[in-house]
Structure 1
Amino acid sequence: MITVVGTGTGAPLTPDAVAALAGAGLVVGGRRHLAAAPVPDAAGRIVLGPLAPALDAVERYLEKGQGHRVVVLASGDPGFFGIVRALAERFGPDRLDVRPGVSSVATAFARLGLPWDDAVVVSAHGRDLRTAVNVCRARPKVAVLTGPGAGPAELGAALAPPSGERVLVVASALGDPERERVERVTPAEAAARDWGDAVSVVLCLDESRVLAPVRTVAGPPRSPDRWALEEREFAHRDSMITKFEVRALALARLGPGLGDVVWDVGSGSGSVAVECARLGAAVTAVEKASDGVGRIRANALAHGVDVRVVHGTAPAVLSGLAAPDAVFVGGGGRDLPAVVTACARRARRSVVVAMAALDRVPAVRESLTGAGLDCDGVLLQSSRLAPLPGDVTRLAATNPVFLLWGVRPPASSEGVSK
């Protein structure tokens, strides 16, 4: 049997955890955990560094069948982004006796007096920080578990330019009565500091929205129950808006979700940007018209989502943006092929282009394929039900729209321009 003891954040070990240690033949843990726990003198010790050698040593000990318990000491709740996963995969859940402590996430929110059943938790420990940054941009209450090279400074630097109203709460050395610190800073302030290695968790908060309504399901809000919203649900100018039939297929090909970055280039009313944000993506809307910028912001506010709006002309303005997972390009103009090329070179997954002019299709298709994307497309022609006098109905045709999309083959995704 392997007993996994979560040491919590500063709380003393429970009596049953102490009893488990007393009967241990092998104790595994971080250097500070081993130093603080009452490990029997006769027990073997393994200081956790690389995980694989430690698991190999545990397996060799168990194979000897000496009848003594193996105890693994871990921080907080070891079943929450912790060592329980690796142990269960290697030895099976039935061989584990887990004694959880209080997680650093729960402790950090407790220090602020905030509930966290509606928070999104992201681990950046040993992982690409990009996902954590994107989630922080898209959601109002996020906890980021930090790691080397992915701490408060790096998170703050990535969030500083487009962070909006976000504040970072940096919780360091939680549970240590002498070293614990919980500090509120702006992303720019976090980026300018040397935080050392004692950080436990960073909370990224929109403080105007930290108290959500009562929840039934924990974690991020469920996906919206409808998308491809009616045009009347957005402010727009003279019907200059991507129609909902086109938006429905565009969303299907973009596949926006939590952790993604999506560009909406030539955003106009921002209808595609807002829909992608409602589905959890971190969205940047690019618009050259100043009145369009205002409409995008108003539509985002009306639908309760965060959309970063960049006022400028593509493709020039795109070079300063973080690389997207997916891009929607609307509108037309002579620069459309150049815009699509710039987007296709940087998109990690897909580019979707909507256009009314037949003459633009060949050049756009060439831009997509020239950037290494597999291209496909349709001509969308829809007719909507419309009333006629006498309580009868006719079909009213909408303007046909070409929708082309390019998808990056999986094997070539590593070569995408940053």
Structure 2
Amino acid sequence: MADRVTVIGWDGSPLTAAARSALSAATLVAGAAHHLALPEVPERAERIRLGSVDLAARRIAGHRGTAVVLADGDPGFFGVVRTLRDPRHGLEVEVVPAVSSVAAAFARAGMPWDDARVVVAHTRTLRRAVNVCRAHPKVAVLTSPGAGPAELALMLDGVHRTFVICEALGTEREQVTVLTSDKAADLTWRDPNVVIAIGGSAPAPAGGGWLLGPDPGPVRGWGLTPDAYEDEPAPRNAPPGTGDSPAPGSPPPGSGESPVLRAAQLARLGPRVGDLVWDIGTGSGAFAAEAARFGAAVIAVDADPAACARAEAAARRFGAQLQAVPGRAPYVLERLPEPDVVRVGGGGADVVTACADRRPERIVTHAGTRDEAEAVGAALAAGGYTVECALLQSVDLDPAAWSERDRSVAFLITGRRSAP
């Protein structure tokens, strides 16, 4: 086993005295080609070209001597330190950090980054990284071959962002390019790089911020009453959000706006960072705004353009953002990107079937009668989903007289399938 493993971060600047001392004593050095070409690497040391960090860790664990691993930026920030410290390898690790590529990228852009999301994009995680860029106004993306600026831009189709693309940071080939996301797909970029995606707006943190990443905001709780999301509260019997007369099998007018039902739907779907949520028949936009507050990317769909505008305004009011798409389901769904979870607020079994064809992990909807619930349940089962149904009843009381103010009854239908 290696006597000692020192991980040295390199940001293009001269190595520190501690880094040079560790390298001079090394009998094994692992790193990328440009690291192994550094003049400080001893000629007598065994050299390992760093590809799989896990394989390199096994080689190091079996080495008798002193090992050094060279990595770009801060190796403890989405870097090699996590793998090297895996208990399976039994390595004692000392770290000599450098400026991380994310910190360097924001420095080149002249922007603060304590309020940014940071994601890693590989071919297997690209879609989730894109969803984070959809949902948040400031995101740093650590790219990789096949998951770079061009791929990000193509998958953000329809969502405008400004890209700050930082290539070869800290080297003689360093280049920083600022352009709109729609133009990034037409150019060739060096891998890997850092992309800062900027778009939308978020309230500035009070007092300079206190938390790394987006501020959670002042609002506490979920399943809020509709007037919390609207400048002017919607009438109690407003339509559920399709923008049309209810189709056969769709919920009765107003039933989709119950805060208790909305909270139950959110609980069934569990929207999270990296997800894409479809809200079909968004109505007041309250469900879409609450899903966006969880950090998920949200596409709110409604045949009524005014409902789409309400959804966007509801999200902005609480420092979130979403994409609103006017159009009639199920036809409008064909051009939307693949969802992770779906809430169907109107349209009945036909819309549920169209959503099931896209294979999201979960679908939730509601019905006003048992016959409607059975039709939706049958559509979900035919699509390969495990179906759950609950009858929800909530009664809004006036605490002054403890008298009934409003009553809501709905069948809550959920379809679940195993994640791929």
Please, what TM-score do these two structures have when normalized by structure 2? 0.89
Gaps in structure 1 of 5+ consecutive residues? 63-67
Corresponding residue of 1:46: 48
What displacement does 1:50 show? 3.0
Residue correspondence of structure 1 range 94-173 to structure 2 within 5 A: 95-125=92-122, 127-161=124-158, 163-164=159-160, 166-173=161-168
| The 10-residue stretch of structure 1 (29-38 or 146-155) with the greater mean CA deviation from structure 2 | 29-38
The 1:127–1:153 alpha-carbon spacing in structure 2 relative to 1, beyond 3 Å, is same
**Whole-Å Cα distance in 2 between the matches of residues 364 and 153 of structure 1?**
40
1:337 maps to amino acid: A
| C-alpha deviation, 1:396, in angstroms | 2.9
Give yes or no for the alignment of 1:189 onto 2:198.
no
Residue 396 of structure 1 corresponds to which residue in structure 2? 405
SS of equivalent to 1:381: strand
Letter in 1 for 2:299: T
Share of identical aligned residues, percent? 44
Residues 341 and 362 in structure 2, CA contact (< 8 A), matched pair in contact too = yes
Distance 1:280 1:89 in 2: 30
Go from structure 1 to structure 2 and tell me whether the alpha carbon gap of 1:344 and 1:76 turns closer, same or farther (over 3 Å shift).
same
* 2:250 counterpart residue number: none
- How far did residue 210 of structure 1 move? 8.8
**1:361-409, Cα deviation, whole Å (9 max, x unpaired):** 111000111111111111211111126xxx532123413111111111x
Match of 1:327 in 2: 342
Q: Per-residue deviation at 1:209?
A: 4.4
Please name the residue that 2:244 is paired with. Answer: none
**Which residue does 2:9 correspond to in 1?**
6
Does the 8 A contact of 2:26 with 2:66 survive in 1? yes
**CA 1:99/1:91 → structure 2, altered by over 3 Å: closer, same or farther?**
farther
Higher normalized helix content (fraction of residues): 1
Instruction: Measure how far apart 1:208 and its partner are.
Output: 4.8
Say if 1:327 and 1:347, in contact at 8 Å, map to a contact too.
no
Separation in structure 1 between the aligned mates of residue 39 and residue 265 of structure 2, nearest angstrom: 57
1:341-360 → structure 2 map (5 Å cutoff): 341-360=353-372
Q: Comparing 135-144 with 302-311, which one deviates more in the overlay?
A: 302-311
* Cα displacement (A) at 1:126: 5.7
Cα deviation, 1:44-83, whole Å, max 9, x if unaligned, reads 1111123343223212213xxxxx3101111101111111
Q: Does 2:68 match 1:74? A: no
TM superposition shift of 1:294: 2.7
Structure 1 residues 298-325: Cα deviation after superposition (integer angstroms, max 9, x where no partner):
3223233211111111111111111111
Counterparts of 1:380 and 1:210, CA distance in 2:
36
Change in Cα spacing, 1:231 to 1:297, as seen in structure 2 (3 Å) is: same
Instruction: Name 1:204's counterpart in structure 2.
Output: 197
For the Cα contact (< 8 Å) 1:331–1:355, is it kept in 2? no
**Worse overlay, 375-384 or 222-231:** 222-231
Is 1:215 matched with 2:230?
no
Decide whether aligned partners of structure 1 residues 284 and 207 sit closer, same or farther in structure 2, where only a CA change above 3 A counts.
closer
Distance in 1 (alpha carbons) for counterparts of 2:202 and 2:291: 20
Q: Counterparts of 2:109 and 2:203 in 1: how far apart (Å)?
A: 11
Alpha-carbon distance in 1 for matches of 2:312, 2:98: 43
Which secondary structure does the structure 1 equivalent of 2:257 belong to?
Answer: coil
* Paired positions, count: 395
Q: Which residue of 1 aligns with 2:314?
A: 299
- The equivalent of 2:242 in structure 1 is none
How far apart are the structure 1 equivalents of 2:304 and 2:260?
25
Instruction: Report deviation, 1:101.
Output: 0.8
Query: How far has the Cα of 1:234 moved from its partner?
Result: 2.9
- Conservation of the 8 A alpha-carbon contact between 1:323 and 1:348: yes
Alignment-mate amino acid for residue 9 of structure 2 = G
Q: How does 1:210-289 map to 2 (within 5 A)?
A: 212-213=205-206, 214-222=208-216, 225-235=220-230, 237-239=234-236, 240=238, 242-289=257-304
Q: 1:352 to 1:126 in 2, by over 3 A?
A: closer
CA distance in 1, matches of 2:60, 2:91: 16
Instruction: Describe how 1:355-366 pairs up with structure 2 within 5 A.
Output: 355-366=367-378
Unaligned runs of 5+ in 2: 239-255
Cα 1:273/1:208, change in 2 over 3 Å: closer
Query: Following the alignment from structure 2 to structure 1, what is the Cα–Cα distance between the partners of residues 274 and 312?
Result: 21
TM-score norm. by structure 1 comes to 0.89
Moved more, 253-262 or 203-212: 203-212
**What's the secondary structure of 2:77's corresponding residue?**
coil
1:128 CA displacement: 1.9
1:384 alignment counterpart: 396
Q: What value does the CA root-mean-square deviation take over the aligned residues? A: 2.0
Which residue does 1:375 correspond to in 2?
387
The alpha-carbon distance between structure 1 residues 184 and 156, as it changes in their structure 2 partners (threshold 3 A), is same
Match of 2:174 in 1: 180
- State the distance in 1 between where 2:81 and 2:410 align: 52
Cα distance in 2 between the residues matched to 1:147 and 1:401: 47
Match of 1:366, SS state, is helix
